[in-house]
Amino acid sequence: MASRFARSISMPVPKAAVSQCLSVRFRNSSAQNRSISLPARLHPLLAQIEDEILEIRSWQSAATVSPEWIAGGLSRIDNLHSSFSDLLQHPQSLDPLRRRGVPLADRLLDDFLRFADAYGAFRSAVISLQHHHSAAHSAVRRRDTVALASAARAQKKTEKEILKLAAYARSIGRSSPLPMPASDVVEAELAGIAKEVAVATASASAAVFSGIAVMAAAASASAAAGSSSSGGMRVPACVVGTLVWRSASFKNRMESERREEEGERWREAALRRMEAVENSIASVEIWSHRVFRRLLNTRVFLLNVRTPFS
């Protein structure tokens, strides 16, 4: 899983060049089909959404799986849906959304429900991950290998759940495209941009979900310089080193003291890494809740448009 996010060994490309390249490809594939009869007042909103989709693609192309990268992805998703919400609430967008028998509104309701479900489950998983990581952190600090093994098992299970959510989020972007009604320019334009938003959101969300799972797993692994078997679990050597003085197998006192000192250094390094990851997970939880609320509010707006008060 981690290999997907490996940094390229090629020479770095300036961000401006990446953005320009992405802009040319994106606008050639989507914007070239824009109708010249589209109401002019929608153009600024559409242009803004396209720019934010380009930002998401540029962010994904520079994947480095770090706390800053993950938070940057969530912030870009939030910005994209803020602009998309503005577009949906534009007076010229409301008419096709209100009409009965139009597949656009139903597809949007379905996509936003699935995205909201994914982010609700992701936020719950992140909270669980934060709890398990804190338990592991505490176990390392107390030199408690039993508690550490238990926390590691629970964390591994949560990481697998998050990876499943990544696959689910990715599948949302693979939905079949909406039929484009030739008789309604605004509806056709909204359907096209809605598909682009869904694809970008699905791809970026899957990257964020996978990234936090990989980052949490790497943080635990980076603290280990060896392993010890405990019920089939790998126990970090930093903990083994600090506890090894309890073993009667050491016949040489000086060797035992050297191992204990080395283990203490590993333990302190592990504690620093784990604390940093805890802070990162807390930041991700805040951002994921923000995106979740944004998606939920947009879906509530669509429901109100489809079922106006009498």
Please report the pLDDT score of residue 178 as a whole number: 62
Please report the pLDDT score of residue 275 as a whole number: 75
Alpha helices in the chain (DSSP H): 15-29, 43-61, 67-88, 91-98, 103-142, 145-172, 185-222, 237-243, 253-306
Q: What is the pTM of this model?
A: 0.73
Please report the pLDDT score of residue 263 as a whole number: 61
Q: What is the C-alpha to C-alpha distance for residues 26 and 32, in angstroms, rounded to an integer?
A: 9
Please report the pLDDT score of residue 11 as a whole number: 32
Q: What is the C-alpha to C-alpha distance for residues 128 and 134, in angstroms, rounded to an integer?
A: 10
Please report the pLDDT score of residue 246 as a whole number: 45
Answer whether 76's CB lies under 8 Å from 263's CB. Answer: no
Contacts of 240 (CB under 8 A, 6+ apart): 145, 226, 227, 228, 263
Answer whether 191's CB lies under 8 Å from 108's CB. Answer: no
Please report the pLDDT score of residue 206 as a whole number: 95
pLDDT lower than 70: segments of the chain: 1-42, 63, 101-102, 176-183, 219-267, 269-270, 308-310
Side chain identity, residue 163: L
SS3 307: coil
Please report the pLDDT score of residue 49 as a whole number: 94
The string of DSSP codes covering 174-216 is TSPPPP--TT-HHHHHHHHHHHHHHHHHHHHHHHHHHHHHHHH
Please report the pLDDT score of residue 24 as a whole number: 47
**Residue 77's closest CA among 122, 115, 109, 25?**
115
